Chain A
Amino acid sequence: MVYLAAQKLHHATTLHMLRGNHECRHLTEHFTFRAECLTKYSENFYRVCMETFDCLPIGALLNGQFFCVHGGISPEIQTLADVQKIDRFKEPPAHGPLCDVLWSDPNSDFGNEKNNDFFLHNATRGCSYYYTYPAVCDFLNRNNLLSVIRAHEVQDMGYKMYKENKATGFPALITVFSAPNYLDVYQNKAAILKYEQGKMNIRQFKNQEHPYWLPNFMDVLVWSFPFVVEKVTDLLLSLLSVCSDGELQEEVHHRASVVGEGVSYNRVINEYEIVKKKLEAERPARTKSQLSPERRQLINAKIQAFARMARFYDILRVEQENVSKLKAVSPNGVLPLGALAGGKDTLLQGSTSQHIRRLFSSHSPLFFFSLQP
């Protein structure tokens, strides 16, 4: 921004910048420009930028021949004088000529339209119009122009020449796009148009690597802090966990042998609740300094429950992939009983089709069919 402003000051009468649809409050808030301003500068700086954008001209006439604008033409603009009549010194509204010149696009089958419509509702943008080949030719001919040059749509080659205007033999529309590898994903080339001595030259260029920024312009300390916190608390918790894996496994097997099924967390909690209620009933009689066997049992149950919870969450985190696979296959989106308790092995087991068939064989036959290879 500052660089462009400096250049403009330096070449006030020979450098001109046109407003695009992103040069407004709506989009700068929606994307990251406002955040960047607030992080690096201030709310006031952002306000000044917005006011500058309000002043940007919306169109230019090059050499009396080319109408340059960001988006395209508008049903409410017949002549160049209509463009000059627009009050541009404001936030672009959601409809009207100021919106259209910044937002409109050529129709997808520009030049091959089946009928003679001029403007269609622009579903891609959610506002403004698609203009058609007949519409552009009409505009050009009325105003004695050679072509409309605009941007607004990414182009793989950086530019696009559209169908020639029959009256001139020259493309009625040209799109120029000067940001290479747009959004770091399009991998497009960019182009600039050089018009010198009646000749039009196109220069293409590829992207350069840009400096890496942490998300939300965070600095390393703030950004790394959650990670540091997680690692510290992880370690301290493992330092302090009272049940070792071995003890937990014993518990699981014991209960499994008694009940004959996988152990669920709810079951443990229920048992804990039973003991707790019993204890609450005899509370007045309990002396402070002695750990009665019931109290000991209660504490144990509580600790076991927490240890199991912690282990479950751990397994969930580490085996995310297997868990989501298994969940996706289960009919009600829930893991089968016992899958989580056994850790990675039961989860892997659970996701083989044989085991699934066995577990879910009582459910709808429709589901069973979908498992056939």
Chain B
Amino acid sequence: MGNRSTIMLQRNEIEEIQKETGFTPNQIVRLYSRFTSLDKSNTGALSRADFLRIPELAINPLGDRIVHAFFRDCPDDQVNFRQFVKVLAVFRPVKRTSIPTIARNTKENKLKFAFQLYDLDEDSKISADEILAVLQMMVGVNIPDDQLESIAERTLQENDLDHDGFISLDEFCAAMEESDVDNRLSLRFLS
């Protein structure tokens, strides 16, 4: 399907995407080729079914949440290529000397992506239940529920600086200060 990819992606589109995301043209072309091979039904956009076809997704406990991140701002539950690349752009490594475009791969955006993985009901705050859900997913059967609840409670107390019973994005970022988010939530895209 090599021919089709190059026809479908015009040079000006590549330039626009480059400005928006910071990817180089080579990277964008490669990502496009990957996008089209995921798009088995050839509709020009990815549906949830296209993602679910990836075998690694089934065994990944955060699979649903991560896929959801792609669909977050998409109408009709379809991810077009622009949206696809925008989400991936968050994971570009942070270079000291990068030209400040509408930089997507800022530390704030990376943290926001992580925050959205915890915030299941998308109300822009992490509740005690959501913390408990993460704990259960990670240790679940090994530790009794009431212990997990008390750990979740304690985490909430320690990080909820304005005492509203939830952890906001700012409080989350403060908690992650020491966690080297820049390097960890980065993928090296082949250029």
- In contact, A222 and B175 (Cβ under 8 angstroms): yes
Tell me the residues in window 227-241 of chain A with beta carbons closer than 8 Å to chain B beta carbons. Answer: 227-229, 231-240
- In contact, B155 and A220 (Cβ under 8 angstroms): yes
Residues on the A chain within 8 Å of B134, using CB = 220, 224, 228
At the interface, yes or no: A48 with Cβ under 8 Å from chain B? no
* Closest residue of B by beta carbon distance from A233: B187
At the interface, yes or no: A221 with Cβ under 8 Å from chain B? yes
Residues on the B chain within 8 Å of A234, using CB = 56, 60
At the interface, yes or no: B61 with Cβ under 8 Å from chain A? yes
- In contact, B34 and A239 (Cβ under 8 angstroms): yes
Q: Which of A159-167, A193-201, A211-219 is found at the contact surface with chain B?
A: A211-219
A231-B151 contact, Cβ under 8 Å, with A222-B175, A222-B176, A225-B114 = no
How far, in angstroms, from A236 to B57 measured CA to CA in the complex? 10
Residues on the A chain within 8 Å of B158, using CB = 219
Residues on the B chain within 8 Å of A231, using CB = 60-63, 66
Tell me the residues in window 122-165 of chain B with beta carbons closer than 8 Å to chain A beta carbons. Answer: 131, 134-135, 138, 143, 147-148, 150-152, 154-155, 158-159
- In contact, A211 and B147 (Cβ under 8 angstroms): yes
How far, in angstroms, from A242 to B27 measured CA to CA in the complex? 13
How far, in angstroms, from A80 to B179 measured CA to CA in the complex? 55
A315 to chain B, nearest CB (A): 14
- In contact, A219 and B135 (Cβ under 8 angstroms): no
At the interface, yes or no: A226 with Cβ under 8 Å from chain B? yes
At the interface, yes or no: B45 with Cβ under 8 Å from chain A? no
At the interface, yes or no: A303 with Cβ under 8 Å from chain B? yes
Q: How large is the interface on B (under 10, 10 to 19, 20 to 34, 35 or more residues)?
A: 35 or more
* Closest residue of B by beta carbon distance from A239: B54
A228-B187 contact, Cβ under 8 Å, with A222-B175, A242-B34 = no
Residues on the B chain within 8 Å of A228, using CB = 62, 114, 117-118, 134
B58 to chain A, nearest CB (A): 11
Residues on the A chain within 8 Å of B176, using CB = 221-222, 225
At the interface, yes or no: B185 with Cβ under 8 Å from chain A? yes
Residues on the A chain within 8 Å of B63, using CB = 231, 235
Interface contacts (Cβ under 8 Å), in number, total 95
At the interface, yes or no: A33 with Cβ under 8 Å from chain B? no
Q: How large is the interface on A (under 10, 10 to 19, 20 to 34, 35 or more residues)?
A: 20 to 34
At the interface, yes or no: A306 with Cβ under 8 Å from chain B? yes
At the interface, yes or no: B31 with Cβ under 8 Å from chain A? yes
How far, in angstroms, from A225 to B60 measured CA to CA in the complex? 15
Residues on the A chain within 8 Å of B114, using CB = 225, 228-229, 232
Tell me the residues in window 260-302 of chain A with beta carbons closer than 8 Å to chain B beta carbons. Answer: 302
Residues on the B chain within 8 Å of A232, using CB = 62, 66, 113-114, 117, 185
- In contact, B155 and A221 (Cβ under 8 angstroms): yes
How far, in angstroms, from A227 to B185 measured CA to CA in the complex? 11
- In contact, B143 and A212 (Cβ under 8 angstroms): yes
A235-B185 contact, Cβ under 8 Å, with A220-B135, A221-B176 = no
Residues on the B chain within 8 Å of A236, using CB = 66, 88, 91, 187
At the interface, yes or no: B172 with Cβ under 8 Å from chain A? yes
At the interface, yes or no: B96 with Cβ under 8 Å from chain A? no
Which 10 residue pairs are nearest across A and B when measured between Cβ atoms? A238-B56, A219-B155, A220-B155, A231-B62, A212-B147, A229-B184, A221-B175, A224-B134, A235-B66, A220-B131
Give 24 CB contacts A-B under 8 Å. Answer: A212-B143, A212-B148, A219-B155, A220-B131, A221-B167, A221-B175, A222-B175, A222-B178, A222-B179, A225-B184, A227-B138, A228-B114, A228-B117, A228-B134, A229-B184, A229-B185, A232-B62, A234-B56, A235-B56, A235-B62, A235-B63, A238-B57, A239-B38, A242-B34
